Structure 1
């Protein structure tokens, strides 16, 4: 587990648009939001990423870069991109399970033939300009994820009040 105020592992990931995204290359005005999602098999992920698509301009207005990433194969990620309403979200794929563990994500095994053999459960990380964790939310189940409305309200408070990252002790 990475505690708040600790530096994250670097993250270098291929995107469905053919480019590569690297966390250490990000230069946001305020934060980078990395959303780890279970994969194409997950209807809750579809709802979450489509909610993110609808709120993307609000994140950009606050100086926040966004990435969504799964362990899915390139083909599954491209299908996800085409079938879900997420055309403006940088969508990464192929994150190795070992790297997901380094982020503190929970790993699940398939319980049906619709799921990949192994995949990670959801995680949301707000990362500061120094690549340190500012806020994280990690789930062991697909349910109970924070709404992006609540995340945006929290970011507004953080930016207005200069509220520090918490949970570091």
Structure 2
């Protein structure tokens, strides 16, 4: 029992530490992609190991549907979804937004792609995109961003992802990365499609 408590405390400390930086040593092309597990907004179990047996994965991180740049990117993703599906790509979107807010997002964009609530920030930490909302990390619009995060995320979770995008091949290796700490800069979905078509 004591060992379990110790391990749990260690994991919680690791989550806090891993979530404290921005522009850390993010994953690159050729790196092995961490496993993605979760339940999407359609109550479907998502397991990247199973998906990659037959398809590639396009993985996107978004901050919340309060973010106008995220909304624009998700709308573009939905517009291009059929093209990705046609080319054997399964789309997974990951967010710290709580489940009820994900349902709002799904309704707003009529989203057919899977959106996962990142419980305990595990996926964001695995992909090294998580950072705490602090004045140092968010010098502009700090108060506004913190207010939105506290409204949209689970209680006490002041963590956001860098809105990065990854393509994961069937060999579990990352073949495309867009990582930019400037939240206004997003992956060009047309460019990604051109690479796989």
In the alignment, the residues of structure 2 paired with residue 106 and residue 154 of structure 1 have an alpha-carbon distance, to the nearest angstrom, of: 27
In the alignment, the residues of structure 1 paired with residue 96 and residue 42 of structure 2 have an alpha-carbon distance, to the nearest angstrom, of: 16
The 1:101–1:24 alpha-carbon spacing in structure 2 relative to 1, beyond 3 Å, is: same
Q: Which residue of 2 aligns with 1:44?
A: 69
Q: Which residue of 2 aligns with 1:164?
A: none
Q: Which residue of 2 aligns with 1:133?
A: 174
Instruction: Pick one of 59, 84, 88 that aligns with 2:84.
Output: 59
The C-alpha deviation readout for 1:113-132, integer Å capped at 9, x for no partner, is: 12242211201010010211
The C-alpha deviation readout for 1:85-126, integer Å capped at 9, x for no partner, is: 143111111343353132121524162212242211201010
Q: Secondary structure at the match of 1:130?
A: coil
In the alignment, the residues of structure 2 paired with residue 89 and residue 48 of structure 1 have an alpha-carbon distance, to the nearest angstrom, of: 13
In the alignment, the residues of structure 1 paired with residue 115 and residue 55 of structure 2 have an alpha-carbon distance, to the nearest angstrom, of: 21
Instruction: Pick one of 88, 96, 115 that aligns with 1:91.
Output: 115
Runs of 4+ residues deviating >3 angstroms:
27-30
Compute the TM-score of the two structures, normalised by the length of structure 2: 0.71
Q: How many residues align?
A: 155
Compute the TM-score of the two structures, normalised by the length of structure 1: 0.82
User: How is 1:5-44 mapped onto 2 (pairs within 5 angstroms)?
Assistant: 5-27=30-52, 31-44=56-69
The 1:98–1:90 alpha-carbon spacing in structure 2 relative to 1, beyond 3 Å, is: closer
User: How is 1:61-140 mapped onto 2 (pairs within 5 angstroms)?
Assistant: 61-82=86-107, 84-109=108-133, 111=142, 112=144, 113-116=147-150, 117-140=158-181
Q: Which residue of 2 aligns with 1:167?
A: none
The 1:107–1:56 alpha-carbon spacing in structure 2 relative to 1, beyond 3 Å, is: same
Structure 2, gaps ≥5 residues long: 1-25, 135-141, 151-157
Higher Cα Rg: structure 1 or 2?
Answer: 2
CA contact (8 A) 2:162 2:183 kept: yes
